[in-house]
């Protein structure tokens, strides 16, 4: 059963998606300290944004965990390779999990990009990564929740309903099928305290989102994928990484 939300709840949840998208976006070491500082500031706001329930508790835990990180940001890069290494044992792409062969990966990437296009969005040129990257999928959900909240404030029930339906379909067919399990794996496997704290929050938050939207949790097994051979015609999957996160 789907649980209805009010605009303030949707904005808080949208902020959570925005936080998670920022926290798992591809990054260079030179911006690591800025990312940690931004995450701490956003976690403070998140901890005050949820009026009650499990999301409130997990946001407070996130704030406290980030506050305990060493002041020297270089120290907390240890273990980052579990997500961002080359190759990463747990790459943050939907198409790397539960796909029998490379053509299923290509179809998944195409489907995700199609969702973005249907709402007038595309992967921004400075993002330079695949549309099925976890950061992009989270940013798309942030966009939808903000749009739904705005429609509710304007009294546009049809647009609010359409947007909520898109949220339910996207999380049911894409983000919710793999991201909760991915976050669970990273929370347990990462030696990086920043990523572990972010993943623990992401796991709890996406669980609450599945409940809110009345969607059953996905059952995709998150295991370290084997290296993939090139697709036919010599088109490797990495050639799709030429696409900032999604944009209008």
The two three-digit tokens of residue 44, written as one number: 């403070």
CATH T-level topology, domain 7-247:
TorD-like (1.10.3480)
Of 43, 73, 77, 35, the C-alpha closest to 60 is 43
- pLDDT band for 189, please (50, 70, 90 cuts): confident
Q: What is the pLDDT of residue 74?
A: 64
Q: Name the more confident of 79 and 37.
A: 37
What integer is the mean pLDDT of 117-131? Answer: 86
With beta carbons less than 8 A apart as the criterion, state whether 187 and 225 touch. no
pLDDT at 234 over 90: no
What integer is the mean pLDDT of 94-98? Answer: 88
Q: What is the 3-state secondary structure (H, E, C) of the chain?
A: CCCCCCHHHHHHHHHHHHHHHHHHCCCCHHHHHHHHHHHHHHHHHHHHHCCCCHHHHHHHHHHHHHHCCCCCHHHHHCCCHHHHCCCCCCCCEHHHCCCCCHHHHHHHHHHHHHHHHHCCCEECCCCCCCCCEHHHHHHHHHHHHHHHHHHHHHCCHHHHHHHHHHHHHHHHHHHHHHHHHHHHHHHHHCCCHHHHHHHHHHHHHHHHHHHHHCCCCCCCCCCCCCCCCCCHHHCCHHHHCCCCCEEC
In the Cβ-directed half-sphere of 233, how many Cα atoms lie within 13 Å? 5
What integer is the mean pLDDT of 163-179? Answer: 96
Query: What pTM was estimated for this model as a whole?
Result: 0.86
What integer is the mean pLDDT of 83-91? Answer: 75
pLDDT at 111 over 60: yes
Q: Name the more confident of 171 and 246.
A: 171
């Amino acid at each position: 059963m789907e649980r209805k939300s009010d605009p303030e709840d949707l904005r808080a949840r949208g902020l959570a998606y925005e936080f998670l998208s920022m926290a798992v976006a591809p990054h260079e070491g030179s911006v690591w300290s800025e990312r940690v500082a931004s995450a701490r500031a956003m976690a403070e706001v998140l901890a005050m944004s949820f009026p009650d329930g499990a999301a409130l508790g997990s946001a407070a835990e996130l704030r406290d965990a980030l506050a305990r990180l060493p002041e020297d940001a270089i120290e907390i890069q240890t273990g980052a390779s579990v997500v961002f290494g080359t190759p990463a044992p747990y790459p943050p792409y939907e198409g790397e999990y539960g796909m029998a062969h490379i053509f299923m990966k290509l179809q998944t990437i195409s489907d995700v990009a199609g969702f973005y296009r249907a709402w007038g969005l595309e992967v921004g040129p400075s993002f330079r990564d695949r549309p099925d990257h976890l950061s992009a999928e989270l940013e798309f959900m942030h966009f939808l929740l903000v749009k739904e909240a705005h429609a509710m404030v304007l009294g546009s029930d049809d647009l609010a309903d359409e947007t909520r339906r898109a949220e339910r379909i996207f999380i049911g067919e894409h983000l919710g099928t793999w991201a909760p399990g991915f976050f669970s794996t990273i929370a347990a496997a990462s030696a990086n305290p920043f990523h572990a704290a972010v993943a623990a929050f992401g796991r709890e938050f996406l669980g609450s989102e599945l409940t809110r939207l009345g969607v059953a949790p996905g059952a995709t097994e998150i295991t370290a994928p084997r290296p993939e051979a090139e697709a036919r015609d010599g088109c490797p999957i990495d050639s799709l990484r030429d696409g900032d996160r999604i944009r209008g």
